[in-house]
Structure 1
C-alpha cells in the first residue's frame, strides 16, 4: 500500500457516490489506492455531515476531503476532524457560518435554476427533459440520460440548512470553478473561492458535472492538495 493519503469524495444533490466514477479511476491510475466515496442520504445537512464524519473516523491516517456541488457544504460542515488535511471544492458550495446553499443560490441565481422542481413528497428534482442542458451539457446525451434517470433527489428542506462551523476557516483549501456551470453561477463559485483564500484555484470550461466530464484536471487539483498537505 502506498504512503499517499486517503481521498474521501462527497457527492452533491441529484447524484450519488457513482458520480465520482471517472475521478476514482483517474486517481487510482496515479497510485491512490485508498479512495472512499460517501453515499449521503441527502435528508439534511446535519445527516449528511454526520454520515461523512463516520466515514472519516474509519480512516487511519491523513485525508484529503473533496466535495462536489452541495457536497461542498457537507465537507465545510464535516471537515473539522483532525485527520482532514485539505479541502477540495469541485464546482461546489462553500458556505460561511449561518449560510445555506439555498441562500447562496438566491443571491446569484444560476442559468438553470428553473429546471429544479419539487414533487408532492417534498423532494427536489431536476426535470428530466432539461437535465442534460442544465447539469451536464458537456457529457454525451447517453451519459446525461443515465444521470437524469438515476438522479438522487434531496429533501427540499436540505437546501435551506445552514453551516454552523466552516472547516475552511482552519484548513487548506483548493477550488475548481466550472466556467459554464448552469447549476451554481460561475461568479458565485469565484466569490466563494476567493473568500476562502485558497492555495490553488483552477477554472475549467465545463458544466456543473466537471467531475464526470473533466476527471483529469479535477484529479490534478486533488493531487496538488494531497502533495502540498500530506507530503
Structure 2
C-alpha cells in the first residue's frame, strides 16, 4: 500500500549512474513509493543542479530527494518548490560559500583511498581497482565489475564551485552516515550532519550503501517519506 502522494527522486554521485540505486528503487516500489533516478552529466555543479531540476519538473506533488556522496551538494542547491525533504547518503553537503572540495578534504584520507587527478579533458576517473578497495568494499565481485563498467567520470569543475544558501537550511533533512566509508571520512559525515541538524542514522556500511546496505538506505528514505506524507 502506498504511503501517500510523495515521490522520491534519487541522485547518483561521482563514478556512478542511476543504476547504483536499483536495489533501493525495487524496495521503494514494493512499498508503493514511486522512485525516479535523476541522471547527472557531472560536468559542473550548475549543470548537475539544472539536470536535477529538469527531473523534478516532471513530477507532480511533493518530493523527497536523496543524494549520494557528491550529489549531496546537488540536492542542496536545487530551488525546486516541490522538494519537501532531503536525504543524504554518505554525502557531502557544503554550506554557503563552500565548495565540494572544501568539505571532501576536511577529513584525513583513508589509507586505501585512491589518488585522484583529472585527465587531459578535465575529467576525474576512479581507478578500476578502487571499486573493490574503497568505493564499495562490501560488494560482490560481480557488483564491482558492473560498478566499474558503468562509472561516469566527474569534471574537476564540479568540486570547485562555491554553493549558495543550501536547501537543508530550509527543509527537514536526514543523513545516513557510513561508518566504514573509505572515500568520505566518517568524521566529516558526522560534522556535516550535526551542523545540518539532520535526523541521523549511522550504519557500519561502506561508501556505497545503496548497493551494499540497501535495506538501511530504504529505511531512512521511507522515514522521510512518511514524515512528509503525514503532514
Query: TM-score under structure 2 normalisation?
Result: 0.94
Within the alignment, does 1:108 sit opposite 2:107 as a pair?
yes
Query: 5+ residue gaps in structure 1?
Result: none
Q: Deviations over 1:188-207 (max 9, x none)?
A: 00000000111x21111111
Partners in 2 of 1:129 and 1:170 — Cα distance? 40
The alpha carbon displacement at 1:126 in A equals: 1.1
Corresponding residue for 1:216?
A: 215
Partners in 2 of 1:195 and 1:210 — Cα distance? 22
Secondary structure (helix, strand or coil) at the match of 2:177 reads strand
Partners in 1 of 2:188 and 2:134 — Cα distance? 17
Mapped contact 2:174–2:224 kept (Cα < 8 A): yes
Corresponding residue for 1:228?
A: 227
Q: What are the residue-to-residue correspondences of 1:185-200 with 2, within 5 Å?
A: 185-198=185-198, 200=199
Name segments (4+ residues, structure 1) moved above 6 Å: none
Q: Which moved more, 1:164-173 or 1:105-114?
A: 105-114
Mapped contact 1:109–1:184 kept (Cα < 8 A): no
Mapped contact 2:5–2:61 kept (Cα < 8 A): no
Corresponding residue for 1:182?
A: 182
Secondary structure (helix, strand or coil) at the match of 2:66 reads strand
Distance 1:183 1:67, change over 3 A: same
Corresponding residue for 1:160?
A: 160
The alpha carbon displacement at 1:146 in A equals: 1.6
Corresponding residue for 2:119?
A: 119
Secondary structure (helix, strand or coil) at the match of 1:12 reads coil
Query: TM-score under structure 1 normalisation?
Result: 0.94
Q: Deviations over 1:161-206 (max 9, x none)?
A: 22112000000000000000011000000000000111x2111111
Secondary structure (helix, strand or coil) at the match of 1:117 reads coil
The alpha carbon displacement at 1:142 in A equals: 1.8
The alpha carbon displacement at 1:16 in A equals: 0.6
